[in-house]
C-alpha cells in the first residue's frame, strides 16, 4: 500500500499504467483474487498499455493505492506512473466504482474542485499502511513516481 498526502493545496493526480496484468476471476469476471484498489475501484485483468486515470485530492487529504493478492496465480503485475500537480478549475471524469478489468464496468462522475467535493471526499482504499509519500506541492516532488507492484 502507498498513501499520498496532500499539503496546503489540492492536487490533481494523474495515474498512468504502463502495463497491467493481474489475476481476474474468469468465471465471475470479478476482481476477487488479485486487485489494485484506486479511489474505491478494484482494478484487475489485463489492459493495453498507457491507460490513464485522473483524480482530484483536496488539501490535507490522502489518496491510497492498495494492492491485494491471494498469491495463487502469478501474473506479470503492473507498472504505474503517478504525477501530481496543483489542481485547477479543470473538470475531471473520476472513476468512482466498478471493476477495472473492463472500461464498460467502470462508473465515472464528472466533477471539479468545489466546497461540496472537498467536504465529501473520502479516501476509499485507505487502511493502516506501510508506505507514505507527502505531496506538499507540485514543485517539490519529482515529475513522476514509479510504483512497482512488488510493494
Domains of the chain (ranges; CATH) run 2-148 (2.60.120)
**Residue 39 CB contacts under 8 Å (≥ 6 apart), including other chains:** 55, 63, 94, 95, 96, 124, 125
Mean pLDDT of 22-29: 78
pLDDT of 134 reads: 53
80 pLDDT more than 80: yes
Is the separation of the CB atoms in 58 and 120 below 8 Å?
no
Looking at per-residue pLDDT, the higher value among 50 and 53 belongs to: 53
Mean pLDDT of 50-60: 91
In angstroms, how far is the first alpha carbon of the chain from the final one?
A: 7
Mean pLDDT of 68-89: 92
**pLDDT interval class at 92 (50, 70, 90):** very high
Residue 77 CB coordination number (10 Å): 16
pLDDT above 90 covers a percentage of the chain that reads 42
pLDDT of 127 reads: 64
Is the separation of the CB atoms in 44 and 23 below 8 Å?
yes
140 pLDDT more than 80: no
- What pTM, to 2 d.p., does this model score? 0.77
pLDDT of 105 reads: 75
**pLDDT interval class at 139 (50, 70, 90):** very low
- CA 96, 36, 3: angle at the middle one, nearest 5? 85
* 105: DSSP letter: G
Distance CA 1, CA 128 (A): 9
Query: What are 98-129's pLDDT values in tens digits?
Result: 776 766 778 888 999 999 999 999 888 876 54
Residue 29 CB coordination number (10 Å): 14
Amino acid at each position: 500500500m502507498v498513501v499520498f498526502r496532500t499539503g496546503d493545496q489540492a492536487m490533481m493526480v494523474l495515474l498512468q499504467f504502463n502495463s497491467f496484468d493481474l489475476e481476474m476471476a474468469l468465471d465471475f469476471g470479478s476482481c476477487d483474487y488479485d486487485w489494485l484498489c484506486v479511489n474505491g475501484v478494484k482494478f484487475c485483468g489485463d489492459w493495453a498499455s498507457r491507460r490513464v486515470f485522473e483524480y482530484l485530492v483536496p488539501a490535507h487529504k490522502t489518496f491510497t493505492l492498495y494492492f491485494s493478492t491471494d498469491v495463487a496465480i502469478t501474473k506479470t503485475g503492473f507498472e504505474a506512473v503517478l504525477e501530481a500537480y496543483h489542481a485547477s478549475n479543470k473538470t475531471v471524469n473520476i472513476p468512482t466504482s466498478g471493476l477495472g478489468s473492463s472500461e464498460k464496468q467502470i462508473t465515472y462522475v464528472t466533477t471539479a474542485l468545489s466546497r461540496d467535493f472537498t467536504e465529501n471526499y473520502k479516501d476509499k482504499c485507505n487502511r493502516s499502511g506501510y508506505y507514505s509519500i507527502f505531496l506538499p506541492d507540485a514543485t517539490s516532488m519529482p515529475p513522476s513516481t514509479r510504483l512497482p507492484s512488488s510493494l
